[in-house]
A and B are shown apart, each in its own frame.
Chain A
Amino acid sequence: MEAHGSRQLSPFSSNPIRLSWREWSAAALACIVALYLLPTALPAVGARLSRPDYRLPTELSSDYWVFEGLAEHSHAERQAAVLGDSVIWGQYARNDDTLTHHLNSLLGEPVFANLGVDGLHPAAMAGLVAYYGGVLENEPVLVHLNPLWMASAEQDLETQGEVRFNHPKLVPQLLNRPASYHPAPAEAIGAVIERRLPFLSWKEHLKIAYCEGMAFQEWTLENPYALLPARRGPDSFPSDEPGSQPVTWRERGISSQNLPWVEASHSYQWRSFRATVELLESRGNRVFVLVGPFNTHALTGESQPRYRALLAEMKRWLEQEEVPYYAPPVLPTDLYADASHPLGAGYRRLAKDLSSSPSFREWRKSWAPDRPRTGRQE
């Protein structure tokens, strides 16, 4: 036990990494430069994005870096964007059988870009637009409102217990949080910082697009002898095929449901949707809202009046705020794949109804002449 006592050793005896303030400044500067330069090293989206009817692969739904790249591309290449959840994405349709595709076909040119994101409820949409949708500034935006997110207190994120839901990083983390959301402080602060620092979104993108959704460390455990991920980014994820089998809701075995519906005045999701519209308008976006069409065939008689009351309240607000909108009548029953998603034929019908509706035509007229048509012919 003959020892040299610890007190004979200086504080930096075991390593020489002791920086002066000048050296600290150099290290911090080098780090900041790396943080800003590295995200430009890998493009968010590659060649596939330029294909007609490209839509965000479902595996990349939480990859907001790619969404931002997609929005930027749509801003440059298309005249308008269509925002929404999997109804816009086209869960039960091929990419060339979605609402966006059929609208473009009817208009005879690629006007609209499909910016649908799987699971994007209104509260998440508000966050997506606020933090990653800035590139859409001044662009005409068609926003889809899926009433399904207000079908129950649980979907409205207003139950007191913990509810697992999509895109938690996009909802408010500190103030005005949904009642169902109780993140750990570190998680909430991490999400807030990630939105503000592009590097962190890029880091998350690498994780999702290159490391199968795992942290790099965990990925190396699964692929111990690989030096770099073999997957080559967003382009390697297919998004042409439907996300689920395109059969009608009856064939799927869905029966009529007695959905409780929340009141618009108490709805968190509706409040978030309104905030999204207001934010877009404040950014100079010309907003058009498409409401539904919800599959009321799948509602019990008891549920229908509550749904109609909610719908009326939404319409009242849109009219009051002079937001152009279209609330199409319910589609024929066999054009639905479930309570809210149309099948391909349903989208075709919806596109036809929508494009011929006076509010839509007037909305389009308000911006179509303003912009040069730069998109490619499909």
Chain B
Amino acid sequence: MLFHSWQFAAFGVTVYLVYLLLCRTRFALHWLLAVSLVFYGWAAPPVVLLLLYVIAVNYAAGLMIARGPSRKLWLAGAIIATLVPLLCYKYAAFGVESLNAASAHLGLRANLAVPSLLLPAGLSFFTFGALGYVIDCYRGSVKAERSLLRFATFVAFFPKLLAGPIERASHLLGQLTPQPKRPAAGDLADGLSLFVVGLFKKVALADYLSLYADRVYSAPESFDGLTLAVATFAFAWKIYFDFSGYTDMARGVARALGFDLALNFNNPYLATGLGDFWNRWHISLSSWFRDYLYIPLGGNRGGKLGTYRNMVATMVISGLWHGAAWTFVIWGFLHAIGRFATRELERTRFYRDRVPTFLKQLWVFGFVTFCWIFFRANSFADAALIVKRISRAGLADPRFPIAMLALCLIIWVYQFCYESKARRVLEWAPVKVGAMTYMLFHLLFFGGGATQPFVYLQF
């Protein structure tokens, strides 16, 4: 069920109204869990079994780890058992294809049958959420949850189920008390604010930009360098609006119910370095990788070489998390390179003190946009072709709609203002009301057409 659909509008209103009646009773969590399962199984009910499996495995593992003996074994068992469905659904085809290709290269011709499993939406997200919990239990930073109902609601909580944010038990589980607080009127106002901003990002911006980006990327051989570069620029903004729009809506829904979900995006295209970018982009995932992969690998404790090795490993795995293809591996690897580069540059006084912030932001945006080529291209061959054509700088008219460009620039300027002294102007009530009125009007005036699913639902 998509947030920007009529079904969700009806679902959301029903969930909210019943929740108002139940929130001070012992049935509040029952209700939240039930509606979360309905939400998840809406399009394909059998996938709920997968969700229940992940809940059961990690709930049991948490309790067993808390008991004491064989903690490491239980942790390892839980990690393997939780990752198996993700590996099967997401990586089996990629693995077999890669094996076939490698064997063909060696002249062995394995020709194994490629499995065609449809990845259930949200699997990567709730798998990581549950794994984070069980690792935290092992580390002792979170107490094992004894209530299956609470734990199941934590994993399955519908606003964040399909595309995050990837919540930590230490943050969300504590809010899921047996009788949660009644949502205040202010929570609903805040939730609506977040939801409308998210809806605007998705419907007015992301879906609009994708009209251009998708058309070019679906047949890159038909376009020259400038058009491909402009389409990559469009895609950079499209994916930001799409994913951060989803997150805003998810956080808005949760907020209306009285719960806080973690901030997942913080104006990432204003980052001044790649490290800064990952502190602003998909924050819940990058902090997950930092806490559960990068630091356990040694973090930055092993000297420069060890740090960079750990960064490459983390970024490549992060790339693979996004999609099972070599293009995602390259995307992750490029980001790792970018991180070295900006990390080293930031150590020089000249770069730190003399290079204007705007130039740093521009180059980071340019680099991140370049990397998106590998993220978006349908194949490695397409990505290579796009890079080649862009480097040749063909100058045919890209026919990029001026309205699209204007929207991107307005948002960019808005974000610049937000991170400057002009922020006070943006926080002035008439400006906020004006911006909201425009967004509502824009949605009513330009919305209502065919909508597209969120990009990150496929991960």
Contact = CB atoms under 8 A, between A and B. Distances in A.
Contacts, number: 147
B413 interface: no
A4 B262 CA distance: 12
A180 to B, nearest CB: 22
Interface in B237-278: 244, 251, 255, 260, 262-267, 275, 278
A18 B401 contact: no
A202 to B, nearest CB: 10
Contacts of B418: 14-16
Contacts of B27: none
Interface stretch (B41-49, B75-83, B372-380, B442-450): B442-450
Interface in B403-429: 403-404, 418, 423, 426-427, 429
Contact of B260 (A11, A14, A26, A203): A11
B404 A14 contact: no
Given A6-B264, A6-B284, 13 more contacts: A3-B278, A6-B165, A14-B267, A14-B418, A17-B432, A18-B190, A21-B185, A21-B186, A23-B432, A24-B436, A27-B436, A31-B444, A35-B444
A19 B436 contact: yes
A30 interface: yes
Given A18-B432, A220-B401, A27 B440 contact: yes
A181 to B, nearest CB: 18
Nearest to B435: A17
B235 to A, nearest CB: 15
B251 A24 contact: no
Contacts of B194: 11-12, 18
14 contacts: A1-B286, A1-B294, A1-B295, A1-B314, A5-B287, A6-B165, A7-B171, A10-B263, A19-B433, A23-B432, A30-B434, A30-B437, A217-B449, A225-B401
B189 A19 contact: yes
Given A23-B432, A23-B436, A31 B441 contact: yes
A186 B278 contact: no
A217 B208 contact: yes
A7 B5 CA distance: 30
A221 interface: yes
A10 B251 CA distance: 12
Nearest to A29: B437
Interface in B107-150: none
A132 interface: no
Contacts of B300: 1-2
A24 B260 CA distance: 21
A261 interface: no
A40 interface: no
B283 interface: yes
Contacts of A265: none
Name which of A3, A6, A18, A190 has the most chain B CB atoms within 10 A of its CB: A6
B314 A17 contact: no
Contacts of B279: 3-4
A224 B400 CA distance: 6
Contacts of B446: 215-217
Contact of B197 (A9, A17, A217): A17
B175 interface: no
Interface residues of B, number: 68
Nearest to B417: A16
Interface in A176-222: 185-186, 189-190, 199-200, 203, 215-218, 220-221
A227 B406 CA distance: 11
Contact of A224 (B265, B402, B429, B448): B402
A14 B263 contact: yes
Nearest to A190: B448
B266 A185 contact: no
B169 interface: no
Interface string A11-49: 111111111110110111011001100000000000000
Contacts of A20: 186, 189
A186 B433 contact: no
B263 A221 contact: no
B401 A221 contact: yes
B6 interface: yes
Contacts of A26: 433, 437
A7 B278 CA distance: 15
B211 A24 contact: no
Interface of B: 5-7, 165, 168, 171, 185-186, 189-190, 192-194, 197, 207-208, 211-212, 215, 244, 251, 255, 260, 262-267, 275, 278-279, 283-284, 286-287, 289-290, 294-295, 299-300, 311, 314, 399-404, 418, 423, 426-427, 429, 432-437, 440-441, 444-446, 448-449
Contacts of A4: 279
A221 to B, nearest CB: 6
B432 A13 contact: no
B423 A11 contact: no
A24 B432 CA distance: 10
Contacts of B255: 11
Contacts of A7: 168, 171, 262
Contacts of B287: 3, 5-6
A30 to B, nearest CB: 4
Given A16-B426, A199-B444, A9 B171 contact: no
A24 B263 contact: no
A3 B290 contact: yes
B401 A13 contact: no
Contacts of B448: 190, 200, 203
B189 A17 contact: no
A185 to B, nearest CB: 6
Nearest to B289: A1
Contacts of A12: 190, 193-194
Contacts of B264: 6
A16 B251 CA distance: 15
A225 B402 contact: yes
B189 A24 contact: yes
A11 B289 CA distance: 22
Interface string A220-236: 11001111000000000
B212 A221 contact: yes
Contacts of B449: 215, 217
Nearest to B262: A6
Contacts of B427: 16
Contacts of B251: 11
Name which of A27, A28, A189 has the most chain B CB atoms within 10 A of its CB: A27
Nearest to A4: B279
Contact of A23 (B266, B284, B314, B433): B433
A300 B199 CA distance: 58
B402 A217 contact: no
Q: Which 7 A-B pairs have the closest CB atoms?
A: A220-B401, A6-B262, A9-B263, A6-B283, A27-B436, A1-B290, A224-B401
Contacts of A203: 444-445, 448
Contacts of A21: 185-186, 189
A71 B350 CA distance: 73
A31 B185 CA distance: 22
Nearest to B436: A27
Contact of A24 (B192, B278, B399): B192
A2 B347 CA distance: 14
B376 to A, nearest CB: 18
A17 B185 contact: no
Contact of A189 (B6, B168, B260, B434): B6
